Amino acid sequence: MTGGRERDGSSNDAGTPGGVPVGAEKARRFMSTADALLEAHGIVRTYRRGDIAVPVLKGLDLEVRRGEWVACTGRSGSGKSTLLNVLGLLDSADAGTYLLAGHDVSDLDDTARARLRNRLLGFVFQLHNLLPRTTALENVATPLVYRGVRRAERLRRAEAALKAVDLADRADHDPSELSGGQMQRVAIARALVGDPEVLLVDEPTGNLDLAATREVLEILDRLHADGRTIFMITHEEDVAEHADRRLILSDGRLHDHDFAEAHL
């Protein structure tokens, strides 16, 4: 059962003490996090190297609310990519609870996870991963193929997404004809085309020069101002400063940036 179904308070179970129906009690329990799109509690992820267990995430907690931009920094090898993979349903936690837009993903099979991932998440990676010899327009439209959207509608939505990142005039250019910053903006448009609940952004400026970095950050600032929810991994402090809230991943757990700077 998903968290969204529990929140509707429609259960007809027996009442709790005081005459409050169980359904209403469940609704009250979820009310405080009704706007949370990413909720992770006690997340554990351990990898094995032969007979050696390598713990990466050690009881990690995270909450990202609708409309919030959260940046996560941390040393190389601290587990930032592992965290993003778990949040993006590309990997599974060994223990803990993860709710994506109210859906408990713990027991979902691969098909159900892929369906949620395609519908609720948009990904922007450090390497843009654009299809070669394919126009920017077709690259942006690609995720909609997996939703069964008709071609004419796919292209209409892709045009709108390219316009949102100021690249409408590059729609018929393939990646070899674009700069690094333009390719990353195409990747952002591709992440937007399905109108996801959350953008998961991994080192979006890691391979860009200063001018291109400014362009990409201006786009992300604008998307956030329009109400987009963003969770971003970065190692660049000046990039992280654009977010509403900054966290540091250290020793397998997330810490508030200011607290961590003073105590870790």
The residue ranges of every structural domain in the chain are 66-95+118-263
For position 258, what pLDDT does the model report? 72
Residue 11: is its pLDDT beyond 60?
Answer: no
Consecutive H or E run containing 253: strand 253-256
Segment 155-200, tens digit of pLDDT: 999 999 999 999 999 999 999 999 999 999 999 999 999 999 999 9
Distance CA 258, CA 211 (A): 29
For position 29, what pLDDT does the model report? 31
Q: Kindly indicate the confidence band of residue 262, based on its pLDDT and cuts at 50, 70 and 90.
A: low
- 60 vs 81, 128, 192, CA distance in Å? 14, 28, 28
- What would the two tokens of residue 221 be? 């600032």
Consecutive H or E run containing 181: helix 180-192
Residue 26: is its pLDDT beyond 60?
Answer: no
Distance CA 232, CA 23 (A): 35
Stated pTM of the model: 0.83
What angle in degrees, to the nearest 10, is found between the helix axes of 180-192 and 151-164? 130
Q: Give the domain 66-95+118-263 fold.
A: Rossmann fold (3.40.50)
Is-contact 46 95, C-beta < 8 A? no
Residue 14: is its pLDDT beyond 80?
Answer: no
Mean pLDDT of all residues in 65-73: 97
Q: Return the amino acid letter for 86.
A: V
Segment 119-155, tens digit of pLDDT: 999 999 988 889 999 999 999 999 999 899 999 999 9
Distance CA 166, CA 155 (A): 16
Distance CA 124, CA 100 (A): 18
Is-contact 105 201, C-beta < 8 A? no
Segment 229-241, tens digit of pLDDT: 999 999 999 999 9
Calculate the average pLDDT of the chain. 86
Q: Kindly indicate the confidence band of residue 8, based on its pLDDT and cuts at 50, 70 and 90.
A: very low
